[in-house]
Amino acid sequence: METLLYIDSCTRPAPESRSATLGREFLNEYTLLHPGTTVERVVLRDRDLHPYGIAEVNARVEHITKKEFNVPMFALARQFAAADKIIIVAPFWDCSFPAMLKIYFEHVCVQDVTFGYDATGQIGLCRASALAYITTSGGCYDFCSGMNAMEMATPAIRAMAMMYGIPRCQFTSAEGLDIEGNDPAVIMEQAATTARRHAGEF
């Protein structure tokens, strides 16, 4: 049975959050097409995650050195590493994504759980065959290409996927939602159609 990890990095739930709304369209279609999938949800706004300070860094190093990978502080990393596919939903904030997602990655980046090293250098240890990133933005940043200098979210996601050993990234977005003269309802409906199509390809 396939395990799908769904990471909600939105500050508000759907329908208040446009990103969460788009993510829901994707997830609903995917589970409809794959009814045997087990969905594990991580809603970051409901988690009390904090950036790593010196105490957390020292504890992480000590546990890794002792190969104590079943400790509670590595629970998110173990869950991430074990997922067959991963969906991340986040709005476009400050040229990237909300801080809660960066903090989540700090908790997930655990040597010998999600990544490691061998004689060739760094290697990814995650099981996932694909990662989908779903986002919305008020402006237009061409998320799928990753070529806009103001858009640093998708390059970061691609880099993290490479670090974790996830071979394929897929991007779905609704853009230009706040540009004067645009109809956000029409844009969201078009993006929902794309999200459902992408779910079928994921």
Q: Which pLDDT value is given to residue 141?
A: 83
Q: Which pLDDT value is given to residue 149?
A: 79
In eight-state DSSP terms, residue 93 is B
The phi, psi pair for 73, rounded to 5°, reads: -70, -15
Taking Cα atoms as reference points, which of 129, 134, 106, 141 lies closest to residue 191?
Answer: 134
Q: Which pLDDT value is given to residue 146?
A: 61
Q: Which pLDDT value is given to residue 151?
A: 84
- The pTM of this model reads 0.95
| β partners of residue 132 | 87, 170
* pLDDT by 10s per residue, the chain, length 202: 899 999 999 999 999 999 999 999 999 999 999 999 999 999 999 998 999 999 999 999 999 999 999 999 999 999 999 999 999 999 999 999 999 999 999 999 999 999 999 999 999 999 999 999 999 999 888 776 666 778 899 999 999 999 999 999 999 999 999 999 999 999 999 999 999 999 999 9
CB-based contact 1:173 (threshold 8 Å): no
Question: For the chain, first and last CA: distance in Å?
Answer: 16
Taking Cα atoms as reference points, which of 9, 16, 53, 45 lies closest to residue 157?
Answer: 9
CB-based contact 141:175 (threshold 8 Å): yes
Q: Which pLDDT value is given to residue 145?
A: 65
Domains of the chain in sequence order = 3-201 (3.40.50.360)
121: left (phi over 0), alpha (psi -120 to 50) or beta: left
